[in-house]
Structure formats: structure tokens, C-alpha cells
Chains A and B, each alone.
Chain A
């Protein structure tokens, strides 16, 4: 992809754009400098008390400013988000908590460029990403964000390994995928091993339990080595024990791979395991 098509419109015209250009072909936003004007809020937990403190840095990776989003039902406007500000620092494990209908899933979709806000801006490092052209956002989702959903969202026709490989298949052409097939498959198996599914490589989703499907989905989210993991109620459909295991896995990833993570949940107990909690109610942030 040509980098000029990716380059987002200037948020702050004064910023030295040229210096931030990322070399093609791989769009690596992380190499740009951090936003100079952003002031990271203090972490809610004391750094000394938290063993995972080392993962958190002070640079802001993903930032939302004044996000508004409404849905329309038969011409009736239903506002979901009414001006949400959010910062995610690199390496941070952030939990968004709120009741059903508070707009937390919508916020996650906006952050992950699955949807576009009516007003407000989303910045990734210091690039504005919400107004990018569709292809650039597709590429961003494919390469920089890993997504996990409540209902796992695996493709039913494909085996576990194939599901995990899907982001790579989408990224590469048939020829280049064939060329590196061995390498990619090895990585997929490695990831399935990591999530504890090394023994179920060839199984179809319908032959797996809920926890196993979610682990597969996590492996799929990790295959393209994303910078941010966006999890939408990853344990919402699982029993408490399995949910705890999944959360433990996510925390491990956050800690060991320094992966920034946003988890949406309505469970206070799960949210308590995160570095920081943001509460959402009626489309607004009520506490940080």
C-alpha cells in the first residue's frame, strides 16, 4: 500500500509529518513519536504494589477524544456515546465497565476502526485513524489490532489452525502465503500451544468447547503480532472458572508480551484484575 494513502489528515498542522512517515510496506504506527500534548493520567493502582508495573509505559498509544455515536431506529435517533475521552498507554491493561446499553461495545468498535464516529477523533500513536480510507482501516485492523469477541466469532468451515491463520491469509496474496506457509503454520501452532490448545489443531469450532473456541480466537488475535488487543466481553459466554482461565491468559499476554489491552466487561470482579478501570454510563465516562 502506498504510504500517502495511509497518512491520516493532520490533527495538529504544526506537527512535523515527514519525520513521522513510516517506511512501506508495513504500516508500523508505533515508530512515530508520542503525542507531545497528551498528558497521561496517573494510574489508579500504585506502581509499587503492582507486579505488572513494568509493562506500563508513559506513552499514549491509543487515544479517543469527544467520541459521539448514535444509532437510528426508524428515524429515531438513539445516542449511544455522548463525548467519550479515553487514553490507553502502551502496555496498559484497561478495563471498560458499564451496564448493558452503556455504549462500551460501541466504544470498542470505534477504537478498533470497525465503525466510524459521528463526531470526535481516534488517534493511534499520533495518527488520526477514524477518518482513514476504508482500505487503510482494513489494514490497520488486520495488522495492528487483535480482536476478541464474546461469541468467539470463528469461521465454522475452518479448522482451528486455519482460523488462526485467517488474518495472515487476508494479508498475503495466495502466492506469498504459499511461499511462507510452513513458517506461518509453525507460528499458528506455537500460538495454539501458548493458549493451551496444541492438541486440537485440526478440530472444527463445532467440535470444541466454549473455552477452547475463545482460546482459538485469542490465538487468532495474536497471529499478526498486534500492538493492541481489543476484547469485547471475552468471558461473557463462559462459566466462571473458564472465564478466570481466559482472563489469566490475557493477563499473562499483557505481562509477558507487553501487549496493550482494552477489555470490555460488565463484571466488576473481572475488571478489578486490570491495571485501570474506566466506567461508562449513558454514553459518558463517569469515573477513571
Chain B
């Protein structure tokens, strides 16, 4: 009884001891905050990565891919049985992406992905990351009339309007097409005028003047030149109506581009929006691969918030890519693919399944990766960072333990006489030991309790605190353009919190063992004489 009473009394009256546990408090609070933020960060990243990558990637080792995806998918289903939710065949090829801004050509290196509109949504979250609501329901590579998301759906405050996207879609394309056609018409008129002048006084171009036969040839080959060139077309001698591409009414093959490819961070503008035409060059399927290029129309923008993804991937219809690359078997009409993406049920052990699949398919031709393999180094780095931080911060608490030890020795010296009194009144050695161990424990409880509270409050209000810091320092403390987190993500794991608090308590008790033993060994007579 007296142990408890004295512990509580000492706790209330010895403020110096409370000072010694402030480091325990801070250590516990810091550990809780760091662990919560790291867990939240890892989790957020895993969710995004997993959504973007699908769970399992079944790939061919070569760019030309493997034939008959349906056969492979049937075989995969046979092994996976009910463990899959969906799978979709894809073709991945490296490619060059080119588009024109203000008359300037911009080139980007990309991965061109052919996906099947109908099954893509079953195997990855890619369709959920597009900016048109209809595409999120059912993916399509046809340009929409308009109504693209003007605000970032994931941003907490819908204030930053993306003005460029307001007009995106067919409306924009019609305006753009009309202007394009007008420009072409002007150019044709100008060329006709020039020809008329040249007819009178010979070509003004010195090169053309020297070779009068060559000067006329390019203008004849120009399909925009209209009727003047048509009759001379050697492939169309009858003069049948030529199918001229009309950008006001038609689109090229649709593509969905990653946001970072077309977004200019400095100007906060989109350099290409749905409705624009771009050019992509990609290798064909033959050996050695040859370069082929074609026109495409941007039909949507893909925003996964993973900068690696958004600055790399361009999606297009699988069948068109197979046609363009020559991956279709002319006799059967079945296209080759070079990857199958598989989405699994949440409770499936991915690594076990990968091992099963690896055993079933020859390693020389197929590569089977989980999404974690794809982002392995990143996740390993984060988890190592977390453990190193934990060790360092726990050392802080251990240092605090030595502070407690020192203060406790002082308190035992200060309380020598009281210990003598208690012993004279019949308190046993064990009782005195209990008082000081209990005191250490209660200091630990107070210290880590305050730390727990401080840590939790800090974590719960982390984003408000960040806002204040940004307001006072006028600096971006947590820049969303690096990780695209508008909020600092946090997850409080009860197990980790218990572990931290338990460790701090243990250290406090361990630090009080030596002083407590010293107190219990004091001789009552000498302790009573102590002045």
C-alpha cells in the first residue's frame, strides 16, 4: 500500500524526475509519428503501384511476343483456378512519342501499351485513372464530345482548375480541324498563285528554275492539293473520290497518354489535350525490328499519380498495335502478345502462385513477375529506411534511460533518510525495492503516455501542422508535385504503437533497477544518520 502511495507522491512532488522523462516522451512521440507516416506512405504507394501494375505479369522475353494469347490464358486459368479475378493480354513496346506545340516538335521516349478495352479493367486500375467519367465506366479509344474532368478528383480542395481541359474533346477538335483545313486551303492557294507566277516568269526558286520538271512534282503529290493532283494519281487512274482525312469529323487511332508526358509543370498547362493529333514511332515485330510510325489522336489522359507511370506509358487499342507491328498471323488472324496481366483475389499468396507458374512454363521464353518484383527496390528502400529510423529513434529512448538512471541515483541519495525511516518502521528490502521500481514504472507510464498522446495528436493533425509550417516558413514542406500526395498519408498501427510504448516502459524500469537495489541495500541506522 505504502509503495503505491509513495510512488504517486514522489511522482507529484519530484519535478526533476519528470524532466528526465521528457526525452522518453519525445522519443515515443517521434517514433509514433515516423512509423505512422512511413506506414501511410508505404501503403499509399503500394495501393497505387498495385493498381497500376496488376498483380502478376506474365511476359515473353522477346519483343515479338508469343502467339495465341487465348491458349496461354486458358493454360493460366487452369493453374490459377479460382484465384484470378481477371486477366488481359497486352503488348508492350518501347516507342517515341512526338507532338507539336506552337510549331515546335517535342519528342518523348515512352512505353506503348496495347490493351484490350473490354478486359483491361478486370486486370488493372488503369481505366479508373483516366480523366473522362465514361472511360472510367467503360474504356474506349474514341474521342468524347467533351466533359473531361476539369478538377483533380483526388485533390482535397477543388480550387486548381485545369483550364485546358475545359474545351477538350470533339469541340476542340472541330475548331482545330477547321483551322487546320483553313490553313491548308491558304497554303494551297498560295502554292497555286506561285505556280501561276512561275508559269509566267519561270520558278523563283533558283533550284527549281534549273530543274523545271522537279519543281512541280511535290505539289502534285500533296493530297491536300485537291482535284488538281487527283487525275494524275497512278493508283487511281479513274479519278474515283479520294478518301481524304478530315480532322473536323474523323480521328486517328485513339491513345490515352500519361499526364506527365503532356503536362508542363512550369507553365501549369497541358501541351496536348484530348482532340490533338500526335505521332508515335515504334519498332515492328520482325527481326531485326524496323521503325514504323503513324498518326494518333489523344482521346484521354491517364493520371495514376506515380510519376514513373505517368511519364512513361501511352495506351492504345491492342488490335491496332498488333496490326501496325505485324503481329497478326495472316492465316489464322490471331495476334501475338508479349504480356498477360493477371489480377488475383486479395487473399492469394502471390509468391506461391508465381512459383507454380514458373514451374509450369519454360523459363527461357517466359518471365513471371509479381507487382512487388516490379517495384521491389523501391519497397525495399522504404522498409530499410523505416527500420534504420526505428533503431536510431529507439537509441534516443535508450539514452533517456540513462538520464533516468542518473536522476534516480540522485533521488535515492536525497531520499536516504526516508528510506531509513521506512526501514525503521518495518519496511522490508523488497518493499523499498518495490517503491523505486514502481516509481520508475510510473515515470515510464507518464512519459510514454504523454509521448503516445503527443504522437497521436501530431499524427492526427499532421496536415494542419504542415499547413502552418508552410504558412510561417513560406516554403513547401511536403511538395505534392514530387509524390502527388495532397495529404501526408498516415496509418497508426496498434501493434507498432504497443511495441514502442512497451519498449519505453521496459527501458524506464530497467534504468531504475540499479538505484532501487542500492536503496534497498541501505542500512537503516546509517540511512537514519544521513544528513
Contacts and interface: CB of A to CB of B under 8 A. Distances in A.
A103 to B, nearest CB: 13
Interface string B419-437: 0111111111101000000
A262 to B, nearest CB: 15
Interface residues on chain B, size class: 20 to 34
B525 interface: yes
A170 B417 CA distance: 17
A180 B6 CA distance: 19
Contacts of A288: none
Given A115-B525, A138-B427, A153 B421 contact: yes
A134 interface: yes
A200 B422 CA distance: 22
Interface stretch (A14-22, A156-164, A248-256, A272-280): A156-164
Contact of A114 (B4, B431, B524): B524
A83 B254 CA distance: 114
Contact of B528 (A141, A143, A153, A220): A153
B246 to A, nearest CB: 93
A155 B421 CA distance: 8
Contacts of A138: 423, 426-428
Interface stretch (A41-49, A93-101, A171-179, A238-246): A171-179
Interface string A119-158: 0000000000000001100111111000101000111111
Contacts of A109: 525
Contacts of A171: 426
Nearest to B428: A138
Nearest to B431: A170
A172 to B, nearest CB: 6
B355 to A, nearest CB: 58
B13 interface: yes
A259 interface: no
B5 interface: yes
A114 B424 CA distance: 6
A141 B5 contact: no
A35 interface: no
A169 interface: yes
Contacts of B525: 109, 114-115
B5 A158 contact: yes
B10 interface: yes
Contacts of B2: 166, 169-170
A173 B2 CA distance: 9
Nearest to B526: A115
B1 A139 contact: no
A74 B528 CA distance: 21
Contacts of A135: 428
A167 interface: yes
Interface residues on chain A, size class: 20 to 34
Contact of B422 (A114, A156, A170, A177): A170
Interface in B502-531: 523-525, 528
A143 B423 CA distance: 13
B9 interface: yes
A154 B431 CA distance: 18
Interface in B388-446: 417-418, 420-429, 431
A138 B2 CA distance: 15
Given A156-B418, A174-B1, A134 B429 contact: yes
Nearest to B430: A135
A157 B9 contact: yes
A29 B417 CA distance: 29
A191 B220 CA distance: 126
Interface string A86-114: 00000000000000000000000100101
B170 to A, nearest CB: 82
Contacts of A158: 5, 9
A69 B350 CA distance: 80
A170 B5 CA distance: 11
Contacts of B425: 141-142, 147, 166-167, 170, 220
Contacts of A112: 424
A241 B1 CA distance: 38
B520 to A, nearest CB: 11
Nearest to B13: A157
B4 A174 contact: yes
B5 A162 contact: yes
B5 A172 contact: no
B6 A157 contact: yes
Contacts of B13: 157
Contacts of A173: 1
B1 A143 contact: no
Nearest to B8: A157
B421 A143 contact: no
A126 to B, nearest CB: 22
B1 A149 contact: no
Quick one: which of A135, A155, A173 has the most chain B CB within 10 A? A155
Nearest to A137: B426
Interface in A158-204: 158, 162, 166-167, 169-174, 177-178
A151 to B, nearest CB: 8
Contact of B417 (A134, A153, A166): A153
A166 B4 CA distance: 12
A29 B418 CA distance: 28
Contacts of A143: 426
Nearest to A154: B421
B12 to A, nearest CB: 8
A79 B513 CA distance: 36
Contacts of A134: 428-429
17 contacts: A112-B424, A114-B524, A114-B525, A140-B426, A142-B426, A147-B425, A153-B424, A155-B422, A157-B10, A158-B9, A166-B2, A167-B425, A169-B2, A170-B422, A170-B427, A171-B426, A172-B1
Q: Which 10 interchain pairs have the tightest Cβ spacing?
A: A142-B426, A169-B2, A157-B9, A177-B1, A169-B1, A141-B426, A174-B1, A153-B421, A138-B428, A138-B426
Given A109-B525, A153-B420, A166-B425, 18 more contacts: A114-B423, A114-B424, A114-B525, A115-B523, A115-B524, A135-B428, A138-B426, A141-B424, A142-B425, A153-B417, A153-B528, A155-B6, A158-B5, A158-B9, A167-B426, A170-B425, A170-B431, A172-B1
Interface of A: 109, 112, 114-115, 134-135, 138-143, 147, 149, 153-158, 162, 166-167, 169-174, 177-178, 220
